[in-house]
Chain A
Amino acid sequence: GAVVSQHPSRVICKSGTSVKIECRSLDFQATTMFWYRQFPKQSLMLMATSNEGSKATYEQGVEKDKFLINHASLTLSTLTVTSAHPEDSSFYICSARRGEVANYGYTFGSGTRLTVV
């Protein structure tokens, strides 16, 4: 149980175009999803917290107009990288928590490797 499906797994796009990444919780309702970015050989850095039905909360230094997050339902959150540039090339991964009980783990999507050319 507690599966998060993330698509696409890999995407190559041209500079200046937009890319949408989807994360779906398949067997549970995710009121909150977290979006992370990971540059090569680095750690996961939190970009934003996505709450169903409300605006996302972005971490300091993350451009909200560039990284659009939509969490329109309890099972789907999307991250759209707008006007992508080569420096946006990275590994993007979402995470959701099944419940608020202390020892429930955080389930991660399989990640999206974005390459902007």
Chain B
Amino acid sequence: AQKITQTQPGMFVQEKEAVTLDCTYDTSDPSYGLFWYKQPSSGEMIFLIYQGSYDQQNATEGRYSLNFQKARKSANLVISASQLGDSAMYFCAMREGWGNTPLVFGKGTRLSVIA
């Protein structure tokens, strides 16, 4: 079974509008972390936001916020006031447990921001 599911292969959003990218996860470990990364065409992985499984509040980082619904096992990324530079691939990823465990990635969502 997939540990990270991103059901939107592609999304379009108008400039200055908000957009939500979906992510659901599957784990039986009570300790986990959820990450969102942006990957532009250059290939670099840009860290956007992190949510820990024990965090009580939703994470926010500037225009990025994470809608964390633990019971539903979802961790959707919300980008407010979209900019043309936001056009990229977005990956949701999960770390299970503590320690130096690798990230497991979803298939990604390609976001296109339209002027």
Binding site for B on A (CB under 8 A): 31-32, 34, 38, 42-46, 49, 91, 93, 95, 97, 100, 102-103, 105-108, 110-111, 113
Contacts and interface: CB of A to CB of B under 8 A. Distances in A.
Contact of A102 (B42, B45, B91, B98): B98
Interface in B75-115: 91, 95, 98-100, 102-108
21 contacts: A31-B100, A34-B102, A42-B107, A44-B91, A45-B105, A46-B102, A91-B43, A93-B43, A95-B45, A95-B103, A100-B99, A103-B33, A103-B52, A106-B35, A106-B47, A106-B95, A106-B103, A107-B47, A108-B37, A110-B44, A111-B43
B68 interface: no
Scoring A43, A49, A107 by chain B CB atoms within 10 A of each residue's CB, the highest score goes to A43
B50 A105 contact: yes
Interface string B9-38: 000000000000000000000010101010
B110 to A, nearest CB: 8
B11 to A, nearest CB: 15
Identify the interface centre among A44, A91, A110: most chain B CB within 10 Å of its CB. Answer: A44
B50 A93 contact: no
A43 B91 contact: yes
Contacts of B91: 43-44
Contacts of B107: 42-43
A100 B98 contact: yes
Contact of A113 (B31, B43, B45): B43
A75 B101 CA distance: 18
Contacts of B105: 43-45
Interface string B35-62: 1010000111101001010000000000
B43 A43 contact: no
Contacts of B108: 43
Contacts of B45: 44, 93, 95, 108, 111
In this complex, which of B102, B105, B108 has the most chain A Cβ atoms within 10 angstroms of its Cβ?
A: B102
B43 to A, nearest CB: 4
